[in-house]
Amino acid sequence: MSVRVVARIRPLLEKEHDKDVIVRADSVEDGKPFTMVKIPSPKNEAEEFSFAFNSVYDQSTTQEQLFTAEVASHIKALFQGLDVTLFAYGVTGTGKTHTMRGGLKLAERGVIPRLLSNVFRRGKKIAKDTNGETTVDVALSYYEIYNDKVFDLLEPPEKRTPSGLPLREKDGKTVVVGLSERACEDLKDFERLYIESNMNRVTAATKLNAHSSRSHAILRVKVTQTTGDMVRESTASAIDLAGSEDNRRTENGKERLVESAAINKSLFVLSQCIDAISRGDKRIPYRESKMTRILSLGQNNGITIMILNLAPLRSYHLDTLSSLNVSSRAKRIEVREIENEVVYKQGPRTASANLGLLQGGAARQ
């Protein structure tokens, strides 16, 4: 299965009503769902470029519609042992945080709180349907990558080590060494933790907006299903990437230059990884940035969804084109759909006997 790449065009904000709109969603044929993004050539306005995606969501798409169409169906797979990765890519101001985190009002909630709400609901249902024989535990990690350093957002900023947390490969996956994890019982629990950690992100920053658009934020939801001595673990990761704009064009301060070199580098490495994978290269330059090591595009087992956020404005023209170029190539990346293996608390046993007890355990063979 490939990486699923979808584009979402945000609506104009109130203050933008008099601005020039140049990006639109289109379908291959009238009446078909949108799968194309159209944008004029910067050199010749009469010429229009088309980019194809698995799906395109226009400005009228609600948070609920996006979640239902792109994420809800993967929750079952998550409980069947597949890892699910969702990441938002795009220029600063195009709606990445709106898509992933969203607003506080129910209707404005983004993908992350909706994902958690669904995970808790399904977990409770499984426990009920198995008369408590299967228990479902949910634990969160939340961290950011800033200047190619990993910082735990569940810890207060004063506990940060300046060099950040190291990465290590374990069972073919990249793990952050020393990252904390908090058990979460329900949505209220999650929201308390999430709001608190987002504050950690803010207080550690010199300038709120500048900081959050320059770091990658990664939320990891670990779901552990236990039936007797069998344990099945899977994770859903939701990633709000740093802005993909060309920072060299806009920044000049010294600190900003260090930052933008690091952001430009990790996003540049990401685009190189995407190119290398889509060309079928043997060597993929994952290891050249922490973000790409963690994202491990095309190396992860499971389901990966890339959401390209777009602002329809002319003022974003060149950066929009560059993000369209990168993301439309990402569609060609294959992701192996392999479940995480069930592990046993005490030594191995014949797997088939109890597998059925774990939801969907044997169903996907």
Binding site for Mg ion (CB under 5 A): 96-97
Q: Is 284 exposed, middle or buried (0-12, 13-18, 19+ CB in 10 A)?
A: buried
Determine which residue in the list 35, 80, 85, 92 makes contact with ligand ADP, applying CB under 6 A.
92
Query: Which residue, 300 or 323, is less far from Mg ion as judged by CB?
Result: 323
* Residue 92, marked binder: yes
Q: Is 309 in the site for ligand ADP (CB under 6 A)?
A: yes
CB of 209 to Mg ion, least distance (A): 8
* Residue 90, marked binder: yes
Distance CA 361, CA 357 (A): 7
Helices 187-203, 111-129: axis angle to 10 degrees equals: 150
Q: Is 19 helix (H, G, I), strand (E, B) or coil?
A: coil
CB of 24 to ligand ADP, least distance (A): 15
Q: Which of 312, 310, 273, 276 is nearest to 289 (CA)?
A: 273
Q: Is 332 exposed, middle or buried (0-12, 13-18, 19+ CB in 10 A)?
A: middle
Q: Is 10 in the site for ligand ADP (CB under 6 A)?
A: yes
Query: Which residue, 9 or 342, is less far from ligand ADP as judged by CB?
Result: 9
CB of 167 to ligand ADP, least distance (A): 25
Stretch of residues binding ligand ADP (CB under 6 A), selected from 6-14, 18-26, 288-296, 322-330? 6-14
- How would you classify the pairing of strands 4-9 and 303-310? parallel
Q: Is 118 in the site for ligand ADP (CB under 6 A)?
A: no
Stretch of residues binding ligand ADP (CB under 6 A), selected from 88-96, 182-190, 230-238, 283-291? 88-96
Q: Is 320 in the site for ligand ADP (CB under 6 A)?
A: no
End-to-end CA distance of the chain: 16
Determine which residue in the list 81, 90, 113, 302 makes contact with ligand ADP, applying CB under 6 A.
90
The full length of the chain comes to: 365
Interface with ligand ADP (CB under 6 A): 10-11, 13, 90, 92-98, 213, 243, 309
Binding-site residues? 90-97
